[in-house]
Every structure is written in structure tokens, then in C-alpha cells.
Amino acid sequence: MNKINVKRDGNILTIGDTPQLVVDLENQKNYIAFADNQVPYHQEIVFSEDILAGKRENVFQTAVNYYYEQACEFIKGIKIAEEYRPFVNKSTRHQW
């Protein structure tokens, strides 16, 4: 299991390098920062206080890896959709 960089600034966790999963532990207004974009990430990400305090480092790293992998998959989907957009047949859309 690769160790992913995690920085904590108050209630904000920044996970990974590129992309970065930014987690607001207080209000859950999470987002993913990549290529000068910030995409809202509407997944609840919760860590218990003992895990955040470093008492169970292996559990913390497992959770970070899981959340970060999910965020990366989300970004891959966005990139695929952006690449496909020019090929969408716009002539079949209904104008009501």
C-alpha cells in the first residue's frame, strides 16, 4: 500500500498531490483540486478523533487510500466525459 501525503490545517485535510482531495472535517464541503479546477466532491468523509490524533496510523492510512482512490476514479470519469463531449450528437436534442 502506497503512503499518500496528507496535510492537516485545522479542520482541513489535503490528501494527495495531483489530484488533491480537500476534506473539510467540519462542514463536509469537500472538493477535488486538479489542473486549476475545483470540483465539488459530495461524499461524506469521516475520521474519528483517535484516528486523527494518530493513535491508529494503519487504519488512517487505509481510510486515506480508500477515499483518495475513489476521488481519483471520479476525476478519471470527468476527464473521459470532457474528452467525449465534442463527439456528442447535438442534433437529436429536442427543443421544447
How do residues 52-88 score in pLDDT, each as one tens digit? 888 999 999 999 999 999 999 999 998 888 888 777 7
> For the residues 19-46, what does the mean pLDDT come to?
92
Q: Which residues pair with 15 in a beta bridge?
A: 6, 21
Which residues, 6+ apart, have CB-to-CB distance to 59 below 8 Å? 51
Q: Is the pLDDT of residue 20 over 80?
A: yes
Write down the pTM of the prediction.
0.80
Asked if 75 and 39 count as a contact pair (C-beta separation under 8 A), the reply is: yes
Question: CA–CA separation, 15 vs 54, rounded Å?
Answer: 16
